[in-house]
Amino acid sequence: MLAVCKREWKSYFTSMLGYVYLTLFLILGALMFFLNNLQGGTASMTGFFGGMISWSIFILPILTMRLFAEERRQKTEQLLLTAPVDIWEIVCGKFLAAVSAYAVGVAVTIVYAVLLAINGSLPIAETISIYIGYLLFCACIISIGTFVSSVTESQVIAAIVTYAVMLVTMFLGNLSQLVPNEILSKALMWISPLDRFSDFTAGVLNAGAVIYYISIIVIFLFLTTRVLEKRRWS
């Protein structure tokens, strides 16, 4: 698992991909910081991450689109699947590489938190909770992107489908309000990853939300292993 993770992580930063992501993330992060904190005059990072979460949906597929699609196209998956490793190790290795590459960008935003703490009264507990929630939310999107990448050979299709899936899930909360059936409406609200994030912004580390995100991650990583396994049998 570690070997796959290391290789994948390195390949982000030996190619343009990692830098494209970092540039986009840092520009948007700076913009959000300027608009919410400097111009808005608040030390809270709730608004900052509220904006970043929407942008993340568009940035994250950059990191996930090629995870498996490229392996399949280049036939390098033959090396991985004939090595004495379990498929889940390959899937987790790639997932962790994408999460840690994303975390590089997120780590830079700690500078903003430090600046806010020095120059204002940063609500520490709320900020830690938001960071945890934001990372979980992003890991959740990465797991969905990993799964989508495993079902196609084309990076472009992988990215577009991930955007599409995330756009639908983004509007699940709004959609739930339009549904007349109360049970269905609640169910839609319950499965919306975006609405789950609101607990974290309120400074509450809700165990239910944490378990929800981890469950989504596990489900999609499991589905990815099943896709790879199934292809062997087809």
Partner 1 sequence: MIEISNLTKTYGAKKALDSLSFTADKGEILGLLGPNGAGKSTTMNIITGYISCTSGIVKIDGYDVLEEPKEVKKRIGYLPEQPPLYTDMVVLDYLRFVYDLKKIKEADKKAHIIEIMKLVGINTVSGRKIANLSKGYKQRVGLAAALLGNPPVLILDEPTVGLDPKQIIEIRSVIKRLGEDRTIILSSHILSEISAVCDRVVIINEGKIVVEDTTDNLMQKYSSGRRLMLRVAGEKERVEEILLNIVGIKSVTYIGSQQEGVDFEVETDIKIEPDFNKQLFFIFAENGMPILMQKEEESSLEDIFIELTNKSDRKNETEEMGGE
Instruction: From 8-16, 50-58, 174-182, 185-193, give the range in contact with partner 1 by CB under 8 A.
Output: 8-16
19 near partner 1, judged by CB under 8 A: no
3-state secondary structure of 6: helix
Site string for partner 1, 34-73 (x = CB under 8 A): ----------------------------------------
Contact predicate 13/55, CB 8 Å: no
Residue placing its CB nearer to partner 1 in the complex, 84 or 180: 84
Considering only 31, 38, 83, 124, the residue that binds partner 1 (CB under 8 A) is: 83
Contact predicate 134/106, CB 8 Å: yes
d(CA 117, CA 123): 8
Instruction: From 2-10, 39-47, 146-154, 169-177, give the range in contact with partner 1 by CB under 8 A.
Output: 2-10
84 near partner 1, judged by CB under 8 A: yes
Cα dihedral 143, 148, 150, 156 in deg (nearest 10): -120
Considering only 26, 27, 34, 86, the residue that binds partner 1 (CB under 8 A) is: 86
153 near partner 1, judged by CB under 8 A: no
Residue placing its CB nearer to partner 1 in the complex, 41 or 84: 84
Residue placing its CB nearer to partner 1 in the complex, 4 or 166: 4
**DSSP states along 23-64:** HHHHHHHHHHIIIIIIITT---SHHHHHHHHHHHHHHHHHHH
Which distant-in-sequence residues (6+ apart) come within 8 Å of 139 by Cβ? 95, 99, 213, 217
**Is residue 122 left, alpha or beta, with left meaning phi > 0 and alpha meaning psi from -120 to 50?**
beta
Query: Which positions touch partner 1 (CB under 8 A)?
Result: 2-4, 6-7, 10-11, 14-15, 74-86, 232-233
